[in-house]
Chains A and B, each alone.
Chain A
C-alpha cells in the first residue's frame, strides 16, 4: 500500500468514524498525528487500518490528538471581569444559562461555579459542559484533580479573592483536600450542578434548545483552521442571548464577519446587535 499523507488519512478517518479533523490547523494536526505514530510505533497506513479494525482505538486516538490542558482559575483577569462585570449583570434573571464548550477535565466549570456561589447566585445557574473526548468528560464528572499539580492554583485562587473580596470562603469550602492520595475533589454541592456530555462541536448539531448567557470556549478554536473557526463562532453567536458573552483564551481572536458582532473586552466578547465597524 502506498504511503498516504496526513490529509488523506484525515479524509479516510472522516469516512469510517464519527470524527472529522480535516479542518483542524494543518501544522498542528500533522504534528499530533506524528506524535501518535511515534508513540504507537506505526506507519500512517497502519494507523488507518487500526482505526478501521478497532473502533475502541478510535476513542484512544481522539484522546491522543486532542489537547486537554486546563487549569483552575487560569488567567486571573478573566475571572475578575466575570465576577465584577458579567455575573452581576445577570442577577435579575430567573435562570442563568452557561455552556462550557470544550470543557476538558472541568476545572473551569468548577472555577466558574465558585464565582457564582461567592455572588450568592448558585441556585439560578444552569450549566452544561461538553467535550469531544469521552475520557475527559468522565474525569470532569468526578471532579478529582492532582493536589500537587494544583497547589499553585490554590494560590491563584487565594490571590484572586484577595483582590476581589474581603471575606471569601476558603478553598476547602469547595474542594476536599486529600494530601495522602495527592487529590483535591470538588464537593457534591458544586459537583451536582453541571451536566457533562460528550459532544463534537465540529460535526454534531448543538444539542441544547436554550440560549446562553455565557459560553466558555477557551483554547479550542486555536486548533481549527480559520474557516472552521468562523463556522463554530457562528453557532455560538446564534446560541447567545443579546448581551451574552463568549469567553475565549488569552491569545485567541475573532476573525472575519463576527468580529463586528461582538464588543471585545480582553478575552470576553459580548454579543451585540449593532455592527462595530471600528473594531480594533
Chain B
C-alpha cells in the first residue's frame, strides 16, 4: 500500500445483504478518517427510508444521501439514494441519474465504481463486498484498469459470494481481505 497517496475517495459497493457488514465497518472506522467514503448498496425499491438512518446509528462518520451536484467532502459517507444511480463527476461532486436499471439495479454499483474510476483514476480505493448479483464486478475491474487500488472481500467470509467471485474471475485485486482486515486497512490509510 502506497502510504504517500492522497486519495480522493474510497468507494464501497455491496448488495442489499451487506447492510450489517457495512454498519460494522462504519462503526469501527476511526472518527477522524479523512477521506470521503462513497457507498453504493443495492436497496429494495419501495423501501425508501431507513437505510441511511440505520447506518447513521452505527457509523462514526456522518452518512448522507446526497443531492445532485453535492460536493464530496472528506470524513463523510455518501450513500447512493434509493432509485437513483450515483456517479462521481470530475469536479468531485456527485451526480444522480434516473436512467434504466443496470444489472437489475438502481443504484447500480458498476456505475458508481466506473464513474469514480474515470474521475479519480489512481487516487481511489475500490472495495467490493458480499452480494448476490454480479453488479459491481465489472465496475471494480474498471477501477483496477484505471490504476485504482482494489480490495475484494474474501468470498469465504461473504454471506453470498456471487458478487466477489464474479470480480475475482475478471482480475486479481490488490488485496482479498476479511471484514476485520478491511477495517484495519481503512484505519491505516
Q: Is the CB of B97 within 8 A of A251?
A: no
Is B89 a contact of A27 with CB atoms below 8 Å?
yes
**Cβ-Cβ contact count across A and B, 8 Å cutoff:** 61
Instruction: Please determine whether B99 and A69 come into contact, CB atoms closer than 8 angstroms.
Output: yes
Task: Determine if A222 and B119 form an interchain contact, defined as CB atoms under 8 angstroms apart.
Answer: no
Q: How far is the CA of A221 from the CA of B97 in the complex (A)?
A: 10
A250 in the interface, Cβ–Cβ < 8 Å?
A: yes
Which chain A positions have C-beta within 8 A of B70?
253
Q: Does A252 contact B (CB under 8 A)?
A: yes
B89 contact from A25, A67, A69, A255, Cβ within 8 A: A25
Interface residue? B104 (CB, 8 A): no
* Contact, CB under 8 Å: B65 / A251: yes
| B96 contacts across to A, CB distance below 8 A | 222, 251-252
Chain B residues 75-117 with CB under 8 Å of chain A are: 81, 83-84, 87-90, 95-100, 111, 114-115
Q: Is the CB of A253 within 8 A of B89?
A: no
Report which of A26, A152, A226, A249 forms a contact with B98, defined as CB distance below 8 A.
A249
Known: A251-B68, A252-B67, A253-B67. A31 touches B115 (CB 8 A): yes
Interface size grouping (class) on chain A: 20 to 34
**A229 beta carbon closer than 8 Å to chain B:** yes
Query: Given the complex of chains A and B, what is the CA–CA distance between A137 and B69 in angstroms?
Result: 28
| A229 partner residues in chain B, CB cutoff 8 A | 69
A255 contacts across to B, CB distance below 8 A:
69
CB proximity of B77 to chain A, nearest CB, Å:
16
The reply to whether the CB of A28 lies closer than 8 angstroms to some CB of chain B is yes
Are A253 and B69 in contact, with the CB atoms below 8 A?
yes
Query: Given known contacts A229-B69, A252-B67, A253-B69, is B95 in contact with A25 (CB within 8 Å)?
Result: yes
In Å, the complex CA distance between A26 and B89 comes to 7
B89 touches A250 (CB 8 A): no
Collect the chain A residues with CB atoms within 8 Å of residue B66's CB: 251
- In the complex, chain B residues whose CB is within 8 Å of the CB of A27: 87-90, 95, 115, 118-119
Residues of A within 8 A of B (CB): 25-28, 30-32, 67, 69, 152, 219, 221-223, 226, 229, 249-253, 255
10 closest A-B pairs by beta carbon, nearest first, are A253-B67, A67-B99, A219-B98, A222-B68, A69-B98, A251-B81, A25-B95, A27-B89, A222-B96, A27-B115
